[in-house]
Amino acid sequence: MKSQSQIVSRTLVRLHSSWAVAACGVTLLMCVSGCGSTPAAWFRPNMVEATKQRLTPDQERQVSTVMLAMFGTPDAPVAPPETGLDEAKLQLAAGPVHSDIVGRKNGLYREHCAHCHGVTGDGLGPTAAFLNPYPRDYRPGVFKFKSTERSDKPTHEDLVRILHNGIPGTSMPSFALLSPPKVEALVEYVKYLSIRGETEIALMRAFFELDDEAQGKLPETREFLVDEVLTPVTEKWKSAADALIAVPEMASDLDLAASIAKGKELFYGDKANCVKCHGPTALGDGQANDYDDWNKAIVEVSKEVKSGLERAGETSTSGMDSEALAEHRGQLAWLDKFGRVLDGGDALRPRTIQPRNLRHGIYRGGRRPLDLYYRIHAGINGAPMPAAKGTVPPEEIWHIVNYVKSLPYELDGELGADRPMVAKDRF
Ligand code: HEC
Ligand code: HEC
C-alpha cells in the first residue's frame, strides 16, 4: 500500500508539478486507504507460555477458541459471571476511543494505558521497549505495590491508589485527574485483563494433566472450564481483602535515634540481610544479576529452546520430533533475531532488575511509613526482594522502616571510610 501511494504521489507531482497538490494527494490517499481498513483489535496469545508448554498449533487454537468464548474481544469484552466483574464498567474502559449515545467517553484503556501496557495487557504496547522498567504484563496476575501478603492479589483500593499516585521513579503516570467513575472502570478492566491472562495460562498448562481419554482435547464441560480453571483464579481476587497485612502500631514513645540505630543493625545483620542486594552503601550496589519473574520466564524459555535446538543438531539425541522442532523455531524467531517488540513480537529483550538505591528517597510503592512497612514485611511480589516476615519480628520492622527513611539524609561521613563507595563518589 505504501509503495503504491508513493507511485501515485510521484505521478501527481509529475502531472501538476506542484508540491502542495502532491502533499494533499498523499494525505488524501493515506486517509482513503487507512480509514475503515484498520483491522479489529485482538488479544495476542501468550506465546511465551505456549512455547514453555510446547503447545502444538492445534492446542494453541483450542486455547484461543475457549478464550474467545469466555472473554470476548478487546472491542466486545465479556466476563463470565463467576469473575464478579461489572460489565458496565468494562464497556466504559474497553473498545476504541469513542463517545456513546449519551456523550460519555468510552475506550478509556486504549486512550490512557494501551500504548504502554498493550491492548492485551501483556506489557507489549508500542512504547514499552523504550521504557525501564518495562510496563507491567498483567497476565500472570502478579502485582507489586499492595497492602496484602506477598503472593496475594492487590485489593481494589490498592489498584485505585496506584492509578491515583502513579509509580514514582517509573514512567507509570498518575491518573489523579480522571473522575472516580473512570478510575473505577479502568481498575475493573485491569482485573479483567489479569483474570483473562491467568485463565489463558491455566488452560495452556492443563494439556499436561489431560488423561488419555481426552485425546489431547480440552474438555468443554462446565466442571473443567469453570470449576477447575476459572474458579481458582477468581477466588484469589475475591479473597484479597482478607489477606491484608496486619501492621502493629509504632510505639508512640519511640526514641527515633535509637530506633534508627536498631534498624541499621538489622539492615546490615544476617537476619534481614538487606545489605546483600542494597549493598554496603545502600546505593543498590549489591547483587544485581537477578531477574524479576516476568523477565525470568523469557530467559528460561529462550534457554530451553536454544538447548533443544542444539540437541536437535546432534540429530537423534533430540527428544523432539522434527515437526515440533520446526514449530519451536518458528515461534521463537523473535527472540533470537530481534529480542524486542516488533510487529507481532511476543516478548521484550530480558533485563536484569536493579536493587533500589535507597538514598534517593523515591519509593515506587508510596512513601508513607505504612507503605515501606508493607514493602519490607512482604517483600516485592514478582521481584527478588524477599519478605522480612518470619525473620524479623513485626514491631522490629518499624526500626528498619525508620532506618530506610533516614538513609537519604545520612551524612557522607556516616557511611564510613570502610565502605567501598560513598554517595558523593557515585553521582
Ligand atoms: C508511559 C507508560 C505507562 C502508561 C501510559 C501506563 N502505565 Fe501502568 N505501568 C507502567 C510501568 C513502567 C509500570 C511498572 C512499574 C514497576 O514495575 O515498577 C506500570 C505498572 C502498572 C500497574 C502495576 C502496579 C503494581 O502494583 O504492580 C498497574 C495496575 C498499572 N500500571 C495500570 C495502568 C493503567 C490502568 C494505566 C492507564 C490508565 C496505565 N497503567 C498507564 C507504565 C505505564
Ligand atoms: C535479594 C535481593 C534483595 C534483598 C535481600 C532486599 N531487597 Fe529491597 N529491593 C530489591 C530489589 C530488586 C528492589 C527493586 C524492586 C522493584 O523495583 O520492583 C528492591 C526494592 C526495595 C525498596 C523500594 C520499595 C519501593 O516502594 O520502591 C525498599 C524500601 C527496599 N527494597 C528495602 C529493603 C530492605 C529494608 C531489605 C532488608 C529487610 C531489603 N530491601 C532486602 C532487592 C532486595
The torsion of the CA quartet 174, 162, 122, 193, rounded to 10 degrees, works out to -120
pLDDT tens-place string over residues 157-202: 999 999 999 999 999 999 999 999 999 999 999 999 999 999 999 9
160 and 250, same domain (yes or no): no
b/e per residue, 101-124, with b = 16+ CB within 10 A?
A: eeeeebbbbbbbbbebbbbbbbbb
Which 8-state DSSP code applies to residue 111? H
- Ligand (nearest to CA of 276): 2
What is the pLDDT averaged over residues 337-356? 69
Q: Is residue 119 one of the residues assigned to a domain? A: yes
368 pLDDT band, cuts 50/70/90, is very high
Q: Tell me if 351 sits within 8 A of 292, measured CB to CB.
A: no
300 and 379, same domain (yes or no): no
139 and 79, same domain (yes or no): yes
Domains: count for the chain: 4
Q: Which residues line the pocket of ligand 1, CB cutoff 6 A?
A: 112-113, 116-117, 127, 131, 133, 135-136, 143-146, 154, 159, 162-163, 167, 170-173, 175, 186, 190, 364
Neighbours of 338 (CB within 10 A): 13
- Ligand (nearest to CA of 376): 2
pLDDT tens-place string over residues 311-328: 555 443 344 555 555 555
Q: Is residue 41 one of the residues assigned to a domain? A: no
The ligand 2 atom nearest the CA atom of 363:
27
The mean of the pLDDT values for the chain is 83
92 and 189, same domain (yes or no): yes
125 and 193, same domain (yes or no): yes
**What pLDDT shows up at residue 16?**
39
Residue 256 structural domain? 245-290+353-426
Q: Is the CB of 386 under 6 A from ligand 2?
A: yes
310 pLDDT band, cuts 50/70/90, is low
Lowest model confidence (mean pLDDT) among 204-218, 363-377, 393-407: 204-218
Residue of 116, 119, 157, 381 best suited for mutating to test ligand 1, as the one with most atoms within 8 Å of CB: 116
79 and 213, same domain (yes or no): yes
pLDDT tens-place string over residues 47-75: 889 888 888 889 999 999 999 999 999 99
**DSSP string for residues in 170-197:** SS----TTS-HHHHHHHHHHHHHHHHHH
Q: Grid coordinates in use for 250?
A: 509504632
Q: Is residue 269 one of the residues assigned to a domain? A: yes
149 and 285, same domain (yes or no): no
The ligand 2 atom nearest the CA atom of 144:
18
95 and 215, same domain (yes or no): yes
Model confidence, pTM: 0.86
Q: Tell me if 423 sits within 8 A of 415, measured CB to CB.
A: yes
CA of 88 to the centre of ligand 1 (A): 23
